[in-house]
Amino acid sequence: VSKHKLWPEIERVTMEQLHYARLDVGGAGGWQLFAEDGDMRMYRREEEADGLVVDPLKACHVVKGVTGREVCNIFFSPEYRAGWEATLDDMTVVETISSDTLVFLQTHKRIWPASQRDALFWSHRRSVSNTDDPDGSDLWIICNHSTEHPDYPANAGKCVRVYLTVCLVCQTFVDPPKDPKNIRREDITCKITYCSVVNPGGWAPASVLRAVYKREYPKFLKRFTNFCIEQCKDKPIVF
């Protein structure tokens, strides 16, 4: 994989997104809290590019009973996606770069009055050893970043191509600390940070998009994390 032409970009964007995900939302970064649900906090910044809404989103969540590796495996794996991604119309893996790097083509359900969107992106799974927090485990990260592919040119069919960069960063905590072979699911907690920037790629009214973001993102993260809990609860813990 290190000799694949995309590898330098995959390495750079993944590590940039890891840094970005770890930045605090409290400071002056202009983040506004727009949704709360239990332990989930969702923040956004209002930003436009060429008159299009591209509001960056950052969500912080804490989920009991699953590990960061389990959550990232479910987010990354194509076979689970239809089970949690409600806005998906169609999904194909157009290229397998490595066991940890896939290229997806997805069409999302149309959001009236905008035209239907599709997304072509590489998806990379990586574990990073934990440097700062002694209690926390290693980090697991998934980074999704739009890319091009000669067989799937943008805006060739009915769909408008969106441009996205997404990352999911997970860290596992065991409380109370125990001998690994005695840990039960009620002793583990997963701290999740989800960041996304989606450029709609073509005209979509700002008011409609902001309403969609406000409605869809909280639903999306809640549905995804509940899916992970259901998927893992009767299986051996994967650290």
Ligand X SMILES: O=S(=O)(CCO)c1ccc(-c2ccc(C3CCCC3)c([C@@H]3C[C@@H]3c3ccccn3)c2)cc1
For ligand X, the binding residues (CB under 6 A) are: 85, 87, 106, 108, 111, 114, 117, 119, 144, 162, 164, 166, 196, 198, 200, 204, 212-213, 216-217, 220
Which residue's CB is nearer to ligand X, number 58 or number 173? Answer: 58
Provide the token pair at 80.
């689970």
Measured from the CB of residue 7, what is the shortest distance to ligand X in angstroms? 20
Q: 3-state class of 32 per DSSP?
A: strand
Q: Sign of the C-alpha dihedral, residues 89, 212, 147, 67?
A: negative
Q: How far apart are CA 199 and CA 218, in angstroms?
A: 19
Report which residue type is found at 224.
F
Closer of 100 and 187 to ligand X (Cβ): 100
Q: How far apart are CA 152 and CA 106, in angstroms?
A: 11
In degrees, rounded to 5, the angle at the alpha carbon of residue 222 between the alpha carbons of residues 122 and 103 is 10
> Rounded distance, CA 94 to CA 104, Å?
6
Q: Which is nearer to ligand X, 95 or 187 (CB)?
A: 95
Query: Minimum CB separation from ligand X for residue 134, in Å?
Result: 30
Question: Least distance (Å) from ligand X to the CB of residue 228?
Answer: 13
Nearer to ligand X, 14 or 106 (CB): 106
Residue 31's closest CA among 20, 23, 43? 43
> Which is closer to ligand X, CB of 152 or CB of 220?
220
Query: Least distance from C-beta 91 to ligand X, angstroms?
Result: 8
HSE-CB of 180 using CA atoms within 13 angstroms: 7
- Which residue, 138 or 216, is less far from ligand X as judged by CB? 216
Instruction: Name the minimum Å distance from CB 94 to ligand X.
Output: 14
Provide, rounded to whole angstroms, the least separation between the CB of residue 216 and ligand X: 4
Distance CA 154, CA 195 (A): 24
- Cα angle: 185, vertex 191, 193; to 5 degrees: 145
